[in-house]
């Protein structure tokens, strides 16, 4: 009996030390919420208060090391006047906090004082040295198992099976979560990645369960995720090491309270060699199919003219969350650019270049453009030319296209559902993770002419008024290597145009169910700088049948 008990206890110790599951342990979740969220050191501290009401307010956040209450760090102090919302960062490694002992427990206190009243909130955060804990567990397990070789072998077998089953679910080594109570209902999810090689990238999925795993849901469907990585795909996506996201539950979880809450982290792998997709359309209208190949990086000599004439080139863009629209005060901002959070749950390919006249001619057999040039973007093409006026007009009810449209021909000869982008996809691709007015990380210096825009775009004030559009790829690309997302020609999107965007967070938006005009993005050679920003949304008189000499498109493919 003693040996049996020792064996069980030893197994638990060792599994605690080495377990590789992607499910977290069950823990408590309480959907109620107070006024602040406090995370571990080096993480943002978001603060807000309803106490202001137009009165002067001061807020102080302090960290007290509970192992020595004489040590106090003033993390944040502010007198804001009429507003009290924002984010500050307590950098644990900063020199002013270097005297704070690590791996200790801290009490975080928020004191809000106005001319009417004063309130204080606090919460305790313990920084656990997980590697040290694992080492302790492993040592204890070894002590229990000494001289018990057969038992040790059995336990190791259990560990191996456990590790194998976890790795089969992706490359997630472990997952854990911590809800910051009583200050917030938000959940911090920590996970580790153990990819088999450095050439694999992953699309990360996050799941939750309120009943110990009996039923699951995707966290993005019940709230929003923040802190997800936005890496360049020239590097490993979610590579080896520790990672973290924050789940902010929506109102449906306000009253949920359970001690059987679990989170699951799953990694879906795809090969880094798929970074660039190349469609060989050199066979033109006579070809029965268009061969597809992949590249892992830009060629040493860059993209030659074949990628602008006889090949269609697309770049893989990871799934992610970003702020669509423009902030108040951005030069040239339009009223239809309300900022809101957009989450794209699926990676997609985006055309590196706008579709050129030679490329369109090879696919369709004609060149409708007014300003001719084989490497210039095709224009005078309508939404109906690209998708069709019959099946192709049904979006967003479905993504079908007419067989004789550009997308219809491309789909038939590749077997893949190429299409136009949604507005959400287009702006995410255009920005390339930037948050400025332009995707080179700069803002406008004026609404008419702007030298910053001239770095990345052909527009009215840097040559457009004299020679219209320009050969694709003539200006600097954005951080993802996409060219001419600003200027040159406007680009068709799938969505029906909506005058005002919702301010609420949305996931994989598809636009309105009906409308009169389809949205166009990016500005053109015929525009001043204010209309060429990342957030600019227009429709002009773009009914699906209309075509203009400053309106073209680029090809997208959602994975």
Q: What's the CATH number where 418 sits?
A: 3.90.1580.10
Q: What's the length of the chain?
A: 559
**Cα(420)–Cα(415) distance, integer angstroms:** 16
pLDDT for 32-48, tens place per residue?
A: 543 333 333 334 444 44
**210 and 121 belong to one structural domain:** no
Mean pLDDT of 272-289: 91
Range of the domain at 342: 275-558
Mean pLDDT of 46-53: 40
pLDDT at 109: 52
Mean pLDDT for the chain? 75
Q: How far, CA to CA in Å, does 289 sit from each of 75, 129, 375, 397, 546?
A: 63, 57, 23, 28, 30
**154 and 17 belong to one structural domain:** yes
Q: Which of 237, 272, 307 is the last residue of a domain?
A: 272
- Work out how many domains the chain is built from and give that number: 3
Tokens representing residue 230 in the block: 């936005």
pLDDT for 112-159, tens place per residue?
A: 444 444 445 444 444 333 333 334 444 444 444 444 444 434 333 333
**80 and 122 belong to one structural domain:** yes
Neighbour count for residue 180 (Cβ, 10 Å):
21
**306 and 250 belong to one structural domain:** no
Chain-centroid distance, C-alpha 554:
21
Mean pLDDT of 404-432: 97
Mean pLDDT of 475-484: 94
338 and 502 in contact (C-beta within 8 Å)?
Answer: yes
Q: Categorize the per-residue pLDDT at 78 as very low, low, confident or very high, splitting at 50, 70 and 90.
A: very low
Residue 176: name the closest of 165, 189, 166, 163 by CA: 189
Name the pTM for this structure. 0.60
**Does 331 fall in a domain?**
yes
Is residue 313 predicted with pLDDT exceeding 70?
yes
**322 and 467 belong to one structural domain:** yes
Mean pLDDT of 19-32: 63
**Does 34 fall in a domain?**
no
pLDDT at 49: 40
Q: Which of 251, 272, 293 is the last residue of a domain?
A: 272
**99 and 212 belong to one structural domain:** no
pLDDT for 90-116, tens place per residue?
A: 444 444 444 444 444 445 554 544 444
**Does 368 fall in a domain?**
yes
349 and 557 in contact (C-beta within 8 Å)?
Answer: yes
Residue 427: name the closest of 531, 525, 322 by CA: 322
Residue 490: name the closest of 449, 442, 408, 546 by CA: 546
Q: Categorize the per-residue pLDDT at 512 as very low, low, confident or very high, splitting at 50, 70 and 90.
A: very high
Is residue 493 predicted with pLDDT exceeding 60?
yes
374 and 309 in contact (C-beta within 8 Å)?
Answer: yes
Residue 558: name the closest of 209, 119, 69, 203 by CA: 203
**367 and 220 belong to one structural domain:** no
pLDDT at 231: 35
Mean pLDDT of 321-346: 92
**Does 313 fall in a domain?**
yes
Mean pLDDT of 304-315: 98
CATH of the domain at 105: 2.60.40
End-to-end C-alpha distance for the chain, whole angstroms: 56
Is residue 349 predicted with pLDDT exceeding 90?
yes
Return the half-sphere exposure (C-beta side, CA atoms, 13 A cut-off) of residue 169. Answer: 20
Angle formed by the axes of helices 149-167 and 130-145, to 10°? 150
């Amino acid at each position: 009996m003693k040996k049996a008990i020792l064996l069980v206890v030893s197994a638990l110790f060792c599994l605690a030390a080495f377990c590789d599951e992607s499910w977290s342990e069950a823990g408590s979740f309480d959907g109620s919420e107070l006024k602040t969220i406090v995370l571990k050191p080096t993480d943002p501290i978001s603060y807000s208060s309803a106490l202001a009401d137009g009165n002067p307010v001061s807020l102080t956040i302090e960290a007290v090391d509970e192992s020595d209450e004489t040590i106090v760090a003033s993390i944040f102090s502010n007198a804001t006047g009429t507003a009290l919302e924002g984010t500050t960062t307590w950098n644990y490694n900063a020199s002013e906090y270097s005297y704070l002992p690590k791996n200790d427990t801290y009490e975080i206190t928020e004191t809000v004082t106005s001319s009417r009243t004063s309130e204080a909130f606090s919460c305790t955060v313990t920084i656990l040295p997980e590697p040290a804990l694992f080492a302790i567990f492993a040592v204890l397990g070894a002590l229990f198992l000494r001289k018990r070789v057969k038992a040790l072998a059995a336990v190791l077998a259990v560990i191996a099976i456990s590790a194998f089953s976890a790795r089969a679910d992706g490359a997630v080594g472990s997952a854990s979560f911590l809800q910051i109570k009583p200050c917030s209902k938000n959940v911090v999810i920590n996970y580790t990645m153990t990819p088999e090689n450095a050439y694999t990238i992953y699309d990360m999925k996050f799941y939750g369960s309120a009943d110990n795993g009996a039923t699951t849901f995707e966290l993005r469907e019940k709230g929003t995720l923040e802190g997800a990585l936005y890496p360049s795909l020239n590097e490993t996506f979610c590579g080896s090491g520790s990672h973290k996201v924050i789940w902010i539950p929506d109102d449906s979880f306000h009253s949920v309270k359970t001690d059987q809450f679990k989170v699951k982290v799953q990694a879906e792998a795809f090969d880094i060699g798929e970074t660039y997709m190349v469609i060989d359309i050199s066979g033109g209208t006579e070809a029965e199919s268009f061969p597809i190949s992949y590249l892992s990086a830009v060629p040493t000599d860059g993209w030659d003219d074949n990628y602008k004439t006889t090949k269609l080139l697309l770049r893989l863009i990871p799934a992610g969350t970003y702020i669509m629209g423009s902030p108040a005060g951005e030069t040239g901002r339009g009223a239809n650019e309300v900022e809101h959070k957009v989450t794209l749950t699926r990676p997609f390919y985006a055309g590196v270049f706008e579709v050129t006249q030679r490329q369109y001619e090879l696919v369709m057999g004609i060149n409708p453009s007014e300003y001719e040039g084989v490497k210039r973007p095709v224009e005078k093409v309508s939404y109906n030319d690209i998708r069709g006026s019959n099946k192709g007009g049904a979006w967003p009810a479905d993504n079908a296209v007419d067989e004789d449209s550009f997308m219809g021909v491309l789909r038939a000869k590749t077997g893949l559902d190429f299409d136009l982008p949604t507005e959400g996809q287009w702006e995410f691709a255009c920005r390339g993770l930037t948050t400025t007015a332009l995707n080179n990380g700069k803002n406008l210096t004026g609404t008419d002419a702007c030298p910053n825009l001239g770095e990345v775009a052909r527009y009215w004030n840097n040559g457009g008024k004299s020679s219209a559009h320009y050969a694709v790829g003539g200006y600097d690309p954005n951080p993802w290597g996409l060219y001419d997302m600003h200027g040159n020609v406007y680009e068709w999107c799938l969505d029906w145009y909506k005058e005002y965007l919702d301010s609420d967070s949305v996931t994989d938006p598809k636009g309105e169910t009906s409308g009169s005009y389809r949205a166009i993005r990016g500005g053109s050679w015929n525009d001043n700088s204010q209309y060429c920003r990342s957030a600019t949304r227009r429709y002009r008189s773009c009914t699906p049948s209309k075509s203009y000499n400053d309106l073209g498109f680029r090809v997208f493919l959602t994975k």
